[in-house]
């Protein structure tokens, strides 16, 4: 089985990769289109040179690899994807050959977390329009998009991971509930900048508290993202 997990940044996505990566039967890959995205856009991201050097920059070669033989001979292959990387010129047809899952998080939490690492994010930086577009694309192929909210996972990790595994046709493994401290061997080159908190973790953080305050300057992004989030949230497990 090949599982493509689609989210924006700052969205429990690395913890979810660690959860699947702790299964003995599952290989993982971390944001395989990141270098292609930077090469195609010319954007300046933290650790950009390291990212460009670490991955293939040809999106067609990346896509081909995602539907080829699973790494390490594992029966399952979990792919952590960022929706904002799926710009024009990045192929999508390969998505018909994988199980697509959409990981949501309230935009106020995403904006607050992202802005702490990279100032003044735009709506496209946080990936909500692209996430909805990909959900609609999957639906147009006759697939039923599988949607899960990070808030629910943190509130009850075992229940939600059991629901997710059931939805994708995979047997739940309790190994998904914890992982070794210090990161994963397949972390992307950007991990030292972004993954500090999850490197210190050995499992999912506890339930989230109240929504954070979003600065006035980022309120337009929040108001634009909210209806997109609500539309997708209506389909969650």
pLDDT tens track of the chain, all 237 residues? 999 999 998 899 999 999 999 999 999 999 999 999 999 999 998 899 999 999 999 999 999 999 999 999 999 999 999 999 999 999 999 999 999 999 999 999 999 888 776 667 889 989 999 999 999 999 999 999 999 999 999 999 999 999 999 999 999 999 999 999 999 999 999 999 889 889 999 999 999 999 999 989 999 999 999 999 999 999 999
Fold observed for domain 2-233 = Rossmann fold (3.40.50)
**Angle at alpha carbon of residue 56, lines to 99 and 21, rounded to 5°:** 45
Q: How far is the C-alpha of 95 from the C-alpha of 3, rounded, in Å?
A: 10
| Residue 78 β-bridge partners | 3, 28
- Report the predicted TM-score, pTM, of the whole model to 2 decimal places: 0.95
Q: Residue 4's closest CA among 96, 85, 139?
A: 96
Q: How far is the C-alpha of 17 from the C-alpha of 41, rounded, in Å?
A: 26
Q: How far is the C-alpha of 83 from the C-alpha of 97, rounded, in Å?
A: 18
How is the chain split into domains, by residue range? 2-233
Q: How far is the C-alpha of 36 from the C-alpha of 211, rounded, in Å?
A: 34
């Amino acid at each position: 089985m090949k599982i493509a997990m689609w989210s924006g940044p700052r969205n429990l996505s690395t913890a979810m990769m660690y959860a699947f990566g702790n299964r003995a039967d599952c290989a993982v890959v971390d944001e395989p289109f990141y270098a292609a995205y930077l090469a195609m856009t010319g954007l300046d991201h933290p650790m950009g040179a390291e990212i460009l050097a670490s991955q293939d920059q040809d999106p067609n070669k990346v896509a081909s690899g995602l539907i080829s033989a699973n790494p390490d001979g594992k029966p399952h292959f979990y792919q952590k994807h960022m929706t904002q990387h799926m710009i024009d010129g990045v192929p999508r047809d390969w998505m018909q050959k994988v199980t697509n899952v959409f990981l949501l998080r309230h935009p106020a939490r995403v904006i607050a977390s992202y802005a702490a690492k990279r100032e003044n994010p735009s709506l496209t930086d946080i990936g909500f329009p692209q996430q909805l577009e990909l959900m609609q694309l999957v639906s147009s192929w006759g697939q039923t998009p599988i949607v899960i909210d990070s808030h629910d996972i943190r509130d009850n990790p075992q229940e939600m991971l059991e629901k997710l595994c059931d939805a994708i046709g995979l047997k739940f493994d309790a190994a998904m509930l914890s992982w070794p401290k210090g990161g994963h061997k397949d972390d992307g080159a950007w991990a030292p900048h972004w993954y500090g908190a999850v490197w210190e973790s050995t499992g999912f953080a506890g339930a989230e508290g109240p929504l954070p305050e979003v600065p006035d300057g980022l309120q337009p992004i929040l108001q634009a993202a909210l209806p997109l989030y609500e539309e997708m949230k209506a389909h969650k497990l």
